[in-house]
Amino acid sequence: MKIYVSRDSAAKAVGADRVATAIEAEAIRRGEQIEMIRTGSRGMVWLEPLVEIDRGEGRMTFGPVAPGDAAALLDGTLEGHGPTEEIPFFARQTRLTFARCGVIDPLDLDAYAAHGGLAGLRRALEMTAEDIVEEVKTSGLRGRGGAGFPTGIKWDTVRKAEAEQKYIVCNADEGDSGTFADRMIMEGDPFTLIEGMAIAGLAVGATKGYVYLRSEYPDAIAVMRAAVELGRRKGVLGGDILGSGRAFDMEIRAGAGAYVCGEETSLLNSLEGKRGVVRAKPPLPALEGFLGKPTVVNNVISLATVPVIFEKGAQHYADFGLGRSRGTATLQIAGNVKYGGLFETAFGLPLGEIVEEIGGGTATGRPIKAVQIGGPLGAYFPPEKFDTLFGYEEFDANDGLIGHAGITVFDDSADMLSMARFAMEFCAVESCGKCTPCRIGAVRGVETLDRIAAGEADALPLLTELCDTMTDGSLCALGGLTPYPVMSAVRDFPDDFARHKEAAE
């Protein structure tokens, strides 16, 4: 009997370790032989602690499981949810990047290879750098960190740059509220990120890589460090990748806890041991990045998706999606929602289907009032915009952005003026202070919203002008995109602003 229990942080936070210990203790008490396998998460967070049992007929799911359920679980009398991959939330997905997450022990390299791992790297080792880059271009892969810039074009810029040393830097500073895809893949399938970075190194001529990982993810840091060390011992990393004579090695570096270090130039400054502040561009990091050398800076999901592109072929990946948004999106459904978790699907689903059918509506049972897409810098979408298809250009046409594909749901008790104020306050607290529109503008924004809350409706034009200044004048997306949630709240939820004026009168 094989028993699978997640070691993902979300599962551990609600008692997965205690459940695993209780199951093992109960099996010992009975004298039963079981094989306990600690995996990543299947992404169905509302079912955690989730336990899967395979008695030879496939994996059956139970959850949430408590330590006291161990006896019933082994007896076969505990009510479950049936085969894991037939659960509606899971069955509707197209798992490419997350195909192994929740399936294997994240630090079992043999299991990784048995489930398609390293096939992409082996193929890339037989290709020229130019052909590798062309494969990524053909796939249509775009940056999953927020900007949506074509990955292949960025790689080609670094490939063509002349330098004695180049670098691959993975941006794992996942600071957006309501996002967890980076953490989940690093804790649940770390070798796919390592493999993706190695392929990137082959493509651009880089022999060294760094993962910049936020300090708030201790489990991800531990798993990634263990995976890198194992990769070196097994010849996946080092001076002779898979016996090819090609070199690529990497290190895990922990950040110090600054949201702005999710911006690539702030990240590079921090990685170099400097204060994490934004650099003016140009020069672009692709030409003068880490230590002044040509550098690929990609998000975790971007790099972790590369192996499946090379395993199955660029066209296979490009066949999924909508318009210029190719492949799959790793939706992170959170907030006041019934079925929160990681949902990987092809681009193109309507927003309403994502939050109302897949997410199940609100956890409170009240009507959905707003959905914020793209983290704290994303716009608030009202139900009237729920027909918006999930794609980069489609959201841009509706004054929104996908960002890191975080989706946060709010019910009708939310006050959108307060949410607009939170956006400005967040920017004021997290600003690196380098540029005036962000450093001063966010503080003035909080003050202006407080005036509106006190009933000064004539402060609304000033707020609009301030947001225009922040958008046009900020050095990076922190100040430049904070107006998205603020102005979307003003534009799409006017009653929440008018109510304060009426109360004051």
In tens, the pLDDT along 400-430 reads: 999 999 999 999 999 999 999 999 999 999 9
Residue 38 pLDDT > 90? yes
- Poorest-confidence range of 57-71, 223-237, 335-349, 427-441? 427-441
Three-class SS of 200-267: HHHHHCCCEEEEEECCCCHHHHHHHHHHHHHHHHCCCCECCHHHCCCCEEEEEEECCCCHHHHCHHHH
pLDDT band of residue 502 (cuts 50, 70, 90) is low
Q: Do 452 and 331 lie in a common domain?
A: no
pLDDT at 505: 59
Q: How many CA atoms lie within 13 A of 53 on its CB side?
A: 20
Q: Closest Cα to residue 419, out of 381, 388, 455?
A: 381
- Poorest-confidence range of 164-173, 187-196, 468-477? 468-477
* Domain-embedded: residue 98: no
pLDDT at 438: 92
Mean pLDDT rounded to a whole number for the chain: 95
Which of the 8 DSSP states describes residue 295? E
Enumerate the β-bridge partners of residue 342. 332
- Poorest-confidence range of 21-25, 299-303, 346-350, 492-496? 492-496
Enumerate the β-bridge partners of residue 343. 331
Q: Do 168 and 232 lie in a common domain?
A: yes
Rounded distance between C-alpha atoms, residue 434 and residue 166, angstroms: 27
Q: Total domain count for the chain?
A: 4
Among residues 319, 346, 369, the one where a domain terminates is 319
Q: Do 119 and 157 lie in a common domain?
A: yes
Answer whether 496's CB lies under 8 Å from 414's CB. Answer: no
Q: Any idea how long the chain is? A: 505
Segment 364-382 mean pLDDT: 96
pTM listed for this prediction: 0.95
* Domain-embedded: residue 505: no
Answer whether 52's CB lies under 8 Å from 60's CB. Answer: yes
Among residues 92, 119, 146, the one where a domain terminates is 92
Element (H, E) at 2: strand 2-6
pLDDT at 503: 63
CA 167, 307, 7, 355 dihedral sign is: positive
φ, ψ (nearest 5 deg) of residue 263:
-80, 135
CA 87, 91, 92, 95 dihedral sign is: positive
* Domain extent at residue 261: 109-319
pLDDT band of residue 146 (cuts 50, 70, 90) is confident
Instruction: Note the pLDDT tens digit of each residue in 189-218.
Output: 999 999 999 999 999 999 999 999 999 999
pLDDT band of residue 177 (cuts 50, 70, 90) is confident
Q: Closest Cα to residue 432, out of 168, 154, 175, 148?
A: 175
Which two tokens mark 2? 């094989």
Rounded distance between C-alpha atoms, residue 52 and residue 5, angstroms: 7
Q: Do 56 and 118 lie in a common domain?
A: no
* Domain-embedded: residue 300: yes
* Domain-embedded: residue 67: yes
Among residues 292, 319, 346, the one where a domain terminates is 319
pLDDT at 498: 85
Three-state SS at 470: helix
pLDDT band of residue 257 (cuts 50, 70, 90) is confident
Q: Do 181 and 310 lie in a common domain?
A: yes
pLDDT band of residue 145 (cuts 50, 70, 90) is confident
Which two tokens mark 333? 């459904």
Residue 14 pLDDT > 80? yes
